[in-house]
Structure 1
Amino acid sequence: MPSDTCTFCLKDDPNKYLWVQCELCDQWVHVTCIPIKYLTSEVGDTMASYPKNSKEIKRYTCTRHGDPLLEVRQVGKKRKVENQEHADVVPKRHGLRRKKQVDYISLNEGEAKRLKNEHPHIPSFLACFARWENKSNVMKSSDVERQFETINIPLKVEDPENSGMQLPTGPDGQTLTVDAITKFLGDESRVDVMDVQSQQNSNWTMAQWNNYFTDSSPETRDRVRNVISLEVSHVDKFKKELRRPRVVESKDLVNLVWDAIPNDTERPKVTKYILMSVENAYTDFHLDFAGTSVYYKVVSGAKKFILFPPTAHNLDSYTAWCDSDHQNLIFLGDELEHGVAMELGAGDLFMIPCGYIHAVYTPKDSLIIGGNFLTLRDLETQLQIVKIEQRTKVPKKFTFPKFDAVMGKTSEWMLLHPELIDNNSKQRQLETLIAFLKDSKAKYKPVNFLSKKDLVKQLQNEVTKLKADTN
């Protein structure tokens, strides 16, 4: 019997409300076709009703392995996971047909029927890419460093070997691989893995991820997955051997102010990320947290980017899209202006300036090292993006860590080290910080001033002096 034909009703009916797949094989069944006597809760109680969505389903085993069993989660109750190694990990499926598979997980969540290994926006993405393709945004490292304050376009660095960026090598001295990263981090190190179709995260071990990424091929993978939030600046190997481009080190606002205004707040960990994406992975349009600028080094594989600048039209369209109940059905790229589409290959170093709305497609398995950084240059836009995050209710875990502390320390640093600030933009920057600190949402305890109110007063006095000097 085909694996996507329900073994109870013997029908292949993808439009039926809820499906579940056996965790030991590739058999799918309709949830409501399972006799209710085979439903149990996590604590072993029998269930009197069927789960209403896939989030309530913990696991299912089909009749191929004895009596069927559907275990239902106790949704809404906090619980201790006893076997963390396998918690929330979608097990590897064997024997899936090579023909295109319907993505029943997304179907269960109320999405339109779609294919398992192709995000529905990819055709629109590729058409949009062709419309905005750019091969001219290329600049030498020395020019990037010299002109950084006025650069407002995404660009490839023509000579990445001269950028100051250094990558660690694998244990064999060769190019870094996912297998090597697993050895550096440890098999049991945890990593958040995103299902591209459902946009749901699972927590895997690096050994599980390495098995999926390294030891499988695109046609045998059960689903398309992405790792985009593995920060490694605290890991000894990457702390010692991974160096960011010189221009990033010199312009990173946290680098400038953190140790200059010392307190006991932990330094934000956003500087060194490892991104691992398999073929056909797609990340929909988004803004990097707080509108941060980005450096992005392709170690292996390839990427396609479409990026749109933070114009008023684009930011308004993005905000409306984030608020839309039909966001997943809309390809935002068709509504934005002044696009830049660029293709990256192994060895390329890419720089994304503040506030660019972008989507990313992976044509083949790829390994990336990159990171985020705030700048003094972009204070206004960064704070504008933070307000968009607040309006669209971005969860705190996806926002820039310790952002208020960075802005508060920047305010103190500008007052204590005026000789380090470019006077041409100083007044505007101070006024931007004053507006931020006066907002009741901004939480900061000054290090060198009596209170936040006192800090604001000193900033205002400095603005008054600057105005007097120009008159």
Structure 2
Amino acid sequence: MAAAPLYCVCRQPYDVSRFMIECDICKDWFHGSCVQVEEHHAVDIDVYHCPNCDVVQGPSLMKKRNNWHRHDYTEPDDGSKPVQAGTPVFIKELQNRTFASGEEILMRMKGEQVTPKYLERHGFNYPIVITEMEGLGLKLPPPTFSVKDVEQYVGGNKVIDVIDVARQADSKMKLSEFIKYFTKPHRPKVLNLISLEFSDTKMSELVEVPDVAQKMSWVENYWPDDSFFPKPFVQKYCLMGVKDSYTDFHIDFGGTSVWYHVLWGEKIFYLIKPTPANLALYEAWSSSPNQSEVFFGDKVDKCYKCVVPQGTTLLVPTGWIHAVLTSQDCMAFGGNFLHNLNIGMQLRCYEMERRLKTPDLFKFPYFEAICWYVAKNLLETLKELREDNCPPPTYLVQGVKALISALRTWLKREVTEPSSEVPDHIRPNHLIKELTKEIRYLEEEPVGGSKPVKSQGSGCGLPSGSNGCPATRSTLERLCQARRARRAARRLREQQRHAPKVPSNLDILERHTREVLRRLEVGPLEEDAAFCAKVHGKLNKVSTASAAAESLDDNHLRLMLVNGRIISRDMRRPGGSPVKTEGERSPVARPTKELRGREVGEDTRQ
């Protein structure tokens, strides 16, 4: 077998995960890291000379800039081509535009006011701005925390995705190289880092997400520890952008809600409501060939401008379309979370991503899997509320309906696109049927003969007031405690049901009897070492073979030889009537190979 070809000055085989560049003279390939060429720099090179060739040919030749308003700055500037997003001309025009004030839609609140209970009652449909952090539960490094500190905690060798803002294109580089770029006084281009998730690094210890995001998060509440799928980590991002960094209009993956906190610097958000009309316009714009040439804010009735200065936290609800401009060098922290309040919108955003053929890299990890976990838990919640004679909040009923429809669609899709994210221990059809039954019960036989309460719910997830629900706090607390106790008992029964069954003395004795019968009637069989170990372990408690024939404490059985066959006799019964073993249920005649095979199969299923 021929050896793999070797490349670069390091003479290593090709590695798809590492950026390489071809020398235009000798046609050999080199790792960018070995010849000090970053991936984002390679696009600026017109003719590349490797270290060997540049001795003779001279340094590499760079591309000539012909414009400042196109992603490909080598295009001739004849004045006919429109400005593209992210370019220097675009940024200047954006800063001169006029927008509706964010104060029209922003909710300004104190940290202690932003709780799951508040959002369940009043909904989470508009962005929330928090300037007084006390009570929010957000823990962050001090404002003196620098980009070099990030490198120290995360590690300079971590490979990250950065955005070349002028081209709106991704490239990979080491964190240490980005930090070196960030700290230089002169920057030849604008690079933006928005995808550094650091949950698996030492920096994670310095950051705690807001309580409201932690308590409402599907991943934190519903993702099981024993899941076959890896747990999604999307709650802790560090965003580092230099002045004039820009991210074009988008909806966060899976319709997730987002929390942002500007540690130092400033960001400007351009926000658009997720109305049906705006979402339809957004999908059409996202799939258009000239997307980068059209400013989406011009296509809708209102686009709101919201300035987020240092020390401010912003919560963006599900589905909001937004763009972000970094008006000065900035470090921010943020995270994404799915929740129960806007399930229908989350599912709509996910299906839009599928229609737009969004790459998996830019989608919520295992979105469908977590929806199955959520459905299983919400079924339990609906059953408990029905047992408590208490109707669920309207947002939950509407969310479960949307979830049922999505789950059915995904199951049908499996026939033509088998990429199942259905967890192994979930029976999908049964789960959908049970959820549908609970919704039908609510619609056909509402509690107290009235329709479900339209309240957004209370802190314990139960609506307050009339319609069969106790209104006093003490009664609600007792009701919640009872629900928690029932839930714990149900989980314990579930664990016991799935736990491996420990064989009793009677089970082992019965299996031993069947084994001896086989050997007596059909000849010696190959011994199962694992089985024999279990049997000897149990029977070794008795010192001799004669003692084993005596009455056993656990089951009072005695083995007896009758007409050449071993049977067990219960000494507690009158006259010591024999007890049939499983082997005796089959005919007395010599078992056939087919019969023996069937018995072995039955043992396996046990």
Q: TM-score, normalised by structure 2?
A: 0.59
Query: How far 1:361 sits from its partner (Å)?
Result: 0.7
The reply to whether residue 323 of structure 1 matches residue 287 of structure 2 is yes
Secondary structure at the residue paired with 2:445? Answer: helix
Match for residue 464 of structure 1 among 437, 440, 444: 440
The equivalent position to 2:128 in structure 1, one of 150, 155, 159, is 155
CA contact 2:162–2:171 (8 Å) conserved in 1? yes
Aligned residues between the structures: 392
Q: Which residue identity is paired with 1:200?
A: A
Q: Is 2:198 the counterpart of 1:232?
A: yes
Q: How many Å separate the matches in 1 of 2:88 and 2:128?
A: 27
Which of 284, 295, 308 in structure 1 is aligned with 2:259?
Answer: 295
| 1:156-201 deviation digits (Å, cap 9, x = unpaired) | 11312331100135xxxx7321110001111211111110011222
* C-alpha distance 154-129 of structure 1, shift in aligned 2 (>3 A): farther
In 2, distance between residues paired with 1:318 and 1:182? 37
SS in 2 for 1:457: helix
Partner of 2:152: 183
Equivalent pairs: percent with the same residue? 29
Amino acid corresponding to residue 134 of structure 1 in structure 2? E
Distance 2:200 2:132 in 1: 28
Equivalent-residue separation in structure 2 for 1:351 and 1:317 (angstroms): 24
Match of residue 6 from structure 2? none
Match of 2:173 among 204, 209, 232: 204
CA 1:59 to 1:351, structure 2 compared with 1: closer, same or farther past 3 Å? farther
Structure 1 residue 128, shift from structure 2 partner: 4.5
Say which SS state the counterpart of residue 121 (structure 1) adopts. helix
Structure 2, unmatched stretches of 5+, are: 1-22, 31-41, 386-390, 415-419, 450-606
Considering only CA atoms, is the larger Rg found in Structure 1 or Structure 2? 2
Q: State the Cα distance separating 1:280 from its structure 2 match.
A: 0.7
Structural mapping, 1:36-435, within 5 Å: 39-42=25-28, 60-61=48-49, 66-68=56-58, 102=68, 106-108=72-74, 112=81, 118-128=87-97, 130-134=99-103, 137-145=107-115, 146-149=117-120, 150-169=123-142, 175-214=144-183, 216-217=184-185, 220-238=186-204, 240-259=205-224, 262-418=226-382, 419=384, 422-435=392-405
Q: Which has the higher helix share?
A: 2
The answer to whether the 8 A contact 2:165-2:191 is kept is yes
Pairwise CA distance, 1:225:
0.7
Q: Is contact 1:116-1:223 (8 Å) kept?
A: no
Task: Tell me the SS of whatever aligns to 1:336.
Answer: coil
* Match status 1:453 vs 2:423: no
Offset of 1:108 from its aligned partner? 4.7
Unaligned 5+ segments in structure 1 are 1-36, 45-53, 72-90
Q: What letter matches 1:106 in structure 2?
A: D
Cα separation, 2, equivalents of 1:109 and 1:391: 32
Instruction: Give how far 1:303 is off.
Output: 0.6
C-alpha displacement of 1:61 = 4.2
Q: 1:160 is paired with a residue of what secondary structure?
A: coil
Deviation of 1:67 after TM superposition, in Å, equals 0.9
* Rounded Cα–Cα distance in structure 1 between residues aligned with 2:432 and 2:356: 28
Partner Cα distance (2:70, 2:398) in 1: 52
Distance in 2, matches of 1:438 and 1:202, equals 38
CA distance 1:250–1:385, change in 2 (3 Å): same
Change (3 A) 1:309 1:109: farther
Change (3 A) 1:448 1:59: same
> How big is the shift at 1:416?
2.3
Cα deviation, 1:338-377, whole Å, max 9, x if unaligned, reads: 4331101111111101101111111111001000000111
Alignment deviations for residues 349-408 of structure 1 (CA, whole Å, 9 cap, x no partner): 111011011111111110010000001111000111111111111111100001011100
1:38/1:266 Cα in 2 relative to 1: closer, same or farther (>3 Å)? closer
Residue type at the aligned position of 1:250: K
Q: Secondary structure at the match of 1:107?
A: coil
Question: 1:425-456 CA distances to partner (integer Å, 9 max, x unpaired)?
Answer: 3332221111111113473434554x211211
Cα offset, 1:318, TM superposition: 0.8
Instruction: Evaluate the alpha carbon distance shift between residue 422 and residue 392 of structure 1 in structure 2; reply closer, same or farther with a 3 A threshold.
Output: same
Cα gap change, 1:70/1:175 in structure 2, threshold over 3 Å: closer, same or farther?
closer
Contact 1:102/1:113 (8 A) holds in 2: no
1:55 Cα deviation after fit: 6.7
Q: Is the 8 A contact 2:150 2:203 kept in 1?
A: no
- The verdict on how the C-alpha distance between 1:403 and 1:350 changes in structure 2, with shifts beyond 3 A counting, is same
Counterparts in 2 of 1:67 and 1:154: CA distance versus 1, 3 Å: same
CA contact (8 A) 1:38 1:69 kept: no
Which deviates the most, 157-166 or 391-400?
A: 157-166
- Partner SS state of residue 321, structure 1: helix
Q: Is the Cα contact below 8 Å between 2:340 and 2:396 reproduced in 1?
A: no
C-alpha change, 1:225 and 1:55, in structure 2 (3 Å) is: closer
- How large is the Cα RMSD of the aligned pairs? 3.4
- How far apart, in 2, do the equivalents of 1:354 and 1:310 lie? 8
Structure 1 residues 254 and 43: CA distance shift in structure 2, 3 A: closer
Deviation at 1:268, TM superposition (A): 0.6
SS in 1 for 2:341: coil
Distance in 2 of aligned mates of 1:107 and 1:250: 47
Evaluate the alpha carbon distance shift between residue 422 and residue 464 of structure 1 in structure 2; reply closer, same or farther with a 3 A threshold.
closer
> Which amino acid letter does the alignment assign opposite residue 153 of structure 1?
Y
The residue that corresponds to 1:84 in the other structure is: none
User: C-alpha offsets along residues 278-299 of structure 1, whole Å, 9 cap, x if unaligned?
Assistant: 0011111111101110000101
CA distance in 2: counterparts of 1:43 and 1:342, whole angstroms: 47
1:237 aligns to what SS in structure 2? Answer: helix
Distance (Å, rounded) in 1 between the aligned partners of 2:381 and 2:85: 55
Q: For residues 100-119 of structure 1, what are the alpha-carbon distances to aligned partners after superposition, in whole Å with 9 as ceiling and x for unaligned? A: 98478623589958799954
- Of the structure 1 ranges 325-334 and 142-151, higher mean CA displacement relative to structure 2 is found in 142-151
CA distance in 1, matches of 2:158, 2:76: 33
Shift of 1:202: 1.8
